[in-house]
């Protein structure tokens, strides 16, 4: 069979950033061999990672590893193992992958044979957060069936209501978060038997904020028509910032290189998808097992130019006035989770976590369509999609296409079904281009 | 004389329409069977024979439907949504919302005055909005498929199904049979459940009148009445609701051929001008 043509033009500077994920897992295996601490972390708030790194703990992320396993085509083994241990099919694909992996690890007495990227070694610590997602409250607790490791959950207030914009609310939220971080430091010092290196933490926090600033600037460049960076590249580079996969100082340099490459492409009028006909916003996480599918869409001139806000870095705010690194961590994190609430409130939109940023993104990135990927096993990434569909149609006259699937379980995704709707969706996108023009919207 | 052919290969039935201009010259449908390729070939031959047209006289063929790729004689494939939209637009130009109830899924489509798609929603993996679900129920109740519509209209106390799921509704219907509910009341309850499901799809794309029903579901008078009650409007149903998508495929074939001719003529003219 002839090899499938790859249509999406990938950024050269993406590869070293993507390579950081491999290095992250390799480092954890090395640490494990050397008897140094390894933490299994949920994508929590970035603060947790910085604190762990300052204590010289290697961090790996079962959520990211789920994506790795799906892309490598081995996730099904772990999913089936998880099922046979009695966990239901409808819980999060990442969690099922992780639980199945842990079950095999226990049965085989170490990293399961054939685990991609060298596997995840047994953790010395489990660090999670219930923020964002219901599965997370119980997932790491359920790992207790397979391993014995101390668990810490980082929490923060959920400020997605108008009352959270009231006078002094932010002050109290930040105070709470700083207190949470102090307790986390005490837990780490107790568990690891050493003191926090505050100077190192200060440096890591500053570097992390700078890294996210540069990554944010790269994404700002994607507003240009035609867009030089497809979502495929975004997803490949995202772990470097989202999971702090490498040293943030070095990662910042890699993102700067990417900025330069993208800027050069813009100057030359180059796009990620030759002959960009339609610009799309993608929600939420992609089908990691079928990323080649996006080449089928790119062949039609569909360029995915922006994705879920939850995986994007926050808009930069200057935090240099705050000397306490824990406060900088708290404020940076608060900006990520709640920075857009004020804008949403001013625009008369719901403050709910996932809705409003899409309205801003679709408008600012001049999208023709909204490509939604409801996930059978993830309520957090799905429950707002219908709402977003309605708001985008009512407010911006932008249509949506739904492609049902899953991040990990390929049996739930049918790419042909999506392609069969593509012609019709193109016709709808063209129709609404005319409607927007008539209504004075500028794209 | 120029003829255009549309073939719609569905999971249960294959439909074909041959047009000349905007007039239907021949139309046919048959069971898709298990070999879509030979079914499509046979249907094509029958259409040509009925219209006394030779294969060479077919200017362009568009295939659509679940098995579109099996029509090896087709010049091009097109999606069912666009074909359905173009087909209805020819029969009922005033229609702006279409409900297409097929065997494996139901589709609702909003169109503009030219029959172009404005928005759409599909019942996707859920079988509860599909024609196949009606077949399952006909089997459970030992009733011929074509009789379920008229029978349901005789209901005096339609049952209420507790879920919108085809799998649960099937077992619920079996329980109702054993509890002594009449076939008429069970069928009316099923139609009400289907109408609710389809109506929620319509809400997603926002109803704009007039509204027409096509696909095999259009033959079910009980379902049509249930939909009218649920939506509070009168629905239009074409005389042959099953062939609408094939008709649209033929119209798309005609349009493509016209555009190609136009492009060629423009090219020739340009060449002549240069000469």
Q: Is residue A282 part of a domain?
A: yes
Q: What is the pLDDT of residue A104?
A: 97
Assigned token pair, A380:
């957090």
Inter-chain contact A428–B122, Cβ cutoff 8 Å? no
Given the DSSP bridges, would you call strands B3-9 and B13-20 parallel, antiparallel or unpaired? antiparallel
Residue of B nearest to A428 (CA): B118
Q: Is residue A1 part of a domain?
A: no
Summarised one tens digit per residue, pLDDT across range B225-245 is: 999 999 999 999 999 999 999
Task: Name the residue facing B79 among A404, A424, A432 (closest C-beta).
Answer: A424
Residue of B nearest to A405 (CA): B125
Q: Is residue A434 part of a domain?
A: yes
Q: Which of A341-355, A380-394, B101-115, B184-198 has the lowest mean pLDDT?
A: A341-355
Inter-chain contact B119–A428, Cβ cutoff 8 Å? yes
- Return the number of other C-beta atoms located less than 10 Å from residue A427's C-beta: 23
Angle between helices A93-108 and A62-72 (to 10 degrees): 90
Q: What mean pLDDT is predicted for residues A76-80?
A: 94
Q: What is the pLDDT of residue A310?
A: 87
Q: Is residue A9 part of a domain?
A: no
Q: What is the pLDDT of residue A326?
A: 96
Task: Name the residue facing B81 among A393, A417, A424 (closest C-beta).
Answer: A424
Nearest CA-CA distance, residue A276 and chain B, Å: 21
Q: Is residue A322 part of a domain?
A: yes
Inter-chain contact A404–B124, Cβ cutoff 8 Å? yes
pLDDT above 70 for A95? yes
What percentage of chain A's residues is helix, strand, coil (to nearest 5)? Answer: 55, 10, 35
Q: Is residue A284 part of a domain?
A: yes
- State whether residue A428 sits within 8 Å of chain B by CB: yes
Task: Name the residue facing A421 among B78, B81, B85 (closest C-beta).
Answer: B81
pLDDT above 60 for A3? no
pLDDT, chain B, mean: 90
Q: What is the pLDDT of residue A280?
A: 98
> Which residues in chain A have Cβ-Cβ distances shorter than 8 Å to B122?
421
Residue of A nearest to B65 (CA): A420
CA distance A143 to A78: 14
> Which residues in chain B have Cβ-Cβ distances shorter than 8 Å to A425?
120
CATH code at B3-83+243-274: 3.30.420.40
User: Where along chain B do its domains lie?
Assistant: 3-83+243-274, 93-237
Summarised one tens digit per residue, pLDDT across range A172-195 is: 999 999 999 999 999 999 999 999
- Grade residue B161 by pLDDT with cuts at 50, 70 and 90: confident
Q: Is residue A8 part of a domain?
A: no
Of A25-34, A87-96, B178-187, which one has max mean pLDDT? A25-34
CA distance A340 to A164: 12
Inter-chain contact A424–B116, Cβ cutoff 8 Å? no
Contact A382, A412 (CB under 8 A): no
Q: What is the pLDDT of residue A243?
A: 87
Q: What is the pLDDT of residue A154?
A: 87
Answer whether 0.90 is exceeded by the pTM: no
> Which residues in chain B have Cβ-Cβ distances shorter than 8 Å to A432?
118
Inter-chain contact A421–B112, Cβ cutoff 8 Å? no
- State whether residue B120 sits within 8 Å of chain A by CB: yes
- State whether residue B25 sits within 8 Å of chain A by CB: no
Q: What is the pLDDT of residue B274?
A: 39
Q: What is the pLDDT of residue A45?
A: 63
Dihedral pair phi/psi, residue B76, rounded to 5°: -155, 160
- State whether residue B126 sits within 8 Å of chain A by CB: no
ipTM: 0.80
CA distance A174 to A97: 34
Residue A399's domain comprises 14-438
- State whether residue A376 sits within 8 Å of chain B by CB: no
- Grade residue A158 by pLDDT with cuts at 50, 70 and 90: confident
- Grade residue A351 by pLDDT with cuts at 50, 70 and 90: confident
> What CATH architecture does domain B93-237 belong to?
2-Layer Sandwich (3.30)
Contact A52, A127 (CB under 8 A): yes
> Which residues in chain B have Cβ-Cβ distances shorter than 8 Å to A404?
124-125
Q: What mean pLDDT is predicted for residues B39-68?
A: 95
**Total count of domains within chain A:** 1
Interface test with B, best of A376, A390, A398, A420 (most B CBs within 10 A): A420
Q: What is the pLDDT of residue B275?
A: 34
Q: Does B3-83+243-274 match B93-237 in CATH topology?
A: yes
| First CA to last CA distance, chain A | 41
Q: What is the pLDDT of residue A272?
A: 98
- State whether residue B8 sits within 8 Å of chain A by CB: no
Of A222-226, A350-354, A438-442, which one has max mean pLDDT? A222-226
Q: What is the pLDDT of residue A171?
A: 93
Q: Which of A232-246, A324-338, B80-94, B165-179 has the lowest mean pLDDT?
A: B165-179
CA distance B140 to B156: 20
CA distance A137 to A129: 7
Contact B69, B183 (CB under 8 A): no
pLDDT above 90 for B262? no
pLDDT above 60 for A420? yes
- Grade residue B165 by pLDDT with cuts at 50, 70 and 90: low
């Amino acid at each position: 069979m002839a090899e499938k043509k790859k249509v999406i033009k990938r950024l050269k500077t993406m590869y070293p950033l993507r390579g950081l994920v491999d290095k992250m897992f390799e480092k954890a295996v090395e640490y494990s061999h050397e008897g140094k601490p390894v933490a299994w972390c949920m994508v929590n708030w970035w603060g947790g990672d910085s604190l762990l790194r300052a204590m010289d703990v290697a961090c790996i992320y079962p959520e990211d590893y789920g994506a790795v396993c799906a892309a490598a085509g081995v996730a099904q083994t772990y999913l089936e193992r998880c099922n046979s241990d009695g966990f239901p099919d409808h819980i999060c694909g990442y969690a099922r992958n992780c639980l199945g992996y842990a079950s095999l690890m226990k049965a085989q007495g170490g990293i399961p044979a054939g685990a991609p990227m060298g596997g995840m070694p047994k953790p010395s610590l489990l660090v999670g957060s219930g923020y964002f997602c219901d599965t997370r409250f119980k997932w790491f607790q359920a790992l207790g069936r397979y391993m014995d490791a101390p668990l810490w959950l980082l929490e923060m207030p959920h400020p997605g209501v108008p009352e959270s914009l009231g006078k002094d609310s932010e002050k109290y939220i930040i105070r709470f978060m700083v207190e949470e971080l102090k307790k986390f430091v005490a837990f780490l010092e107790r568990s690891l038997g050493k003191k926090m290196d505050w100077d190192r933490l200060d440096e890591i926090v500053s570097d992390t904020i700078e890294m996210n600033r540069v990554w944010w600037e790269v994404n700002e460049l994607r507003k240009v028509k035609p867009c030089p960076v497809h979502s495929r590249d975004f997803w490949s580079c995202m772990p470097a910032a989202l999971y702090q996969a490498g040293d943030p100082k070095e990662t910042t340099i890699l993102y700067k290189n990417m900025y330069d490459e993208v800027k050069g492409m813009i100057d030359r009028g180059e796009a990620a998808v030759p002959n960009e006909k339609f610009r799309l916003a993608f929600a939420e996480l992609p089908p990691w097992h079928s990323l080649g599918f996006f080449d089928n869409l790119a062949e039609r001139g569909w360029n995915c130019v922006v994705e879920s806000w939850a995986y994007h870095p926050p808009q930069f705010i200057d935090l240099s006035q705050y000397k306490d690194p824990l406060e900088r961590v708290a404020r940076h994190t608060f900006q990520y989770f709640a920075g857009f609430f004020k804008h949403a409130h001013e625009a008369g939109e719901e403050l709910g976590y996932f809705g409003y940023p899409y309205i801003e993104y679709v408008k600012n990135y001049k999208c023709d369509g909204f490509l939604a990927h409801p996930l059978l096993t993830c309520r957090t990434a799905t429950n707002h999609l219908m709402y977003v569909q309605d708001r985008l149609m009512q407010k911006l006259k932008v249509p949506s296409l739904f492609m049902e699937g899953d991040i990990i379980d390929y049996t739930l995704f049918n790419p042909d079904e999506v392609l069969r709707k593509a012609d019709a969706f193109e016709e709808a996108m063209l129709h609404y281009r005319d409607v927007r023009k008539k209504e004075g919207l500028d794209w | 004389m120029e003829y255009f052919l549309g073939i719609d290969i569905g999971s249960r039935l294959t439909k074909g329409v041959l047009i000349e201009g905007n007039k239907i010259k021949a139309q046919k449908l048959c069971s898709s069977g298990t070999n879509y390729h030979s079914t499509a070939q046979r249907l094509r031959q029958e259409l040509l024979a009925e219209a006394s047209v030779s294969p060479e006289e077919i200017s362009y063929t568009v295939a659509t439907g679940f098995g579109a790729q099996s029509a090896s004689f087709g010049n091009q494939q097109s999606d069912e949504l666009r074909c359905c939209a173009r087909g209805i637009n020819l029969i009922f130009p005033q229609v702006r919302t279409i409900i297409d109830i097929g065997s494996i899924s139901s589709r609702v489509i909003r169109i503009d005055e030219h029959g172009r798609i404005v928005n759409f929603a599909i019942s996707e993996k859920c079988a509860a909005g599909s024609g196949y679900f009606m077949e399952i129920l006909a089997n459970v109740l030992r009733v011929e498929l074509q009789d379920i519509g008229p029978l349901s209209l005789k209901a005096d106390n339609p049952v209420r199904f507790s879920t919108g799921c085809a799998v649960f509704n099937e077992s619920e219907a079996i329980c109702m049979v054993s509890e002594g509910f009449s076939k008429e009341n069970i069928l009316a309850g099923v139609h009400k459940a289907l109408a609710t499901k389809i109506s929620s799809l319509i809400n997603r794309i926002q109803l704009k009148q007039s509204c027409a029903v096509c696909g095999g579901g259009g033959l079910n008078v009980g379902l049509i009445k249930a939909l009218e009650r649920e939506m509070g409007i009168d629905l239009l149903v074409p005389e042959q609701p099953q062939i609408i998508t094939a008709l649209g495929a033929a119209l798309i074939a005609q349009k493509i051929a016209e555009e190609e001719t136009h492009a060629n003529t423009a090219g020739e003219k340009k060449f002549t001008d240069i000469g």
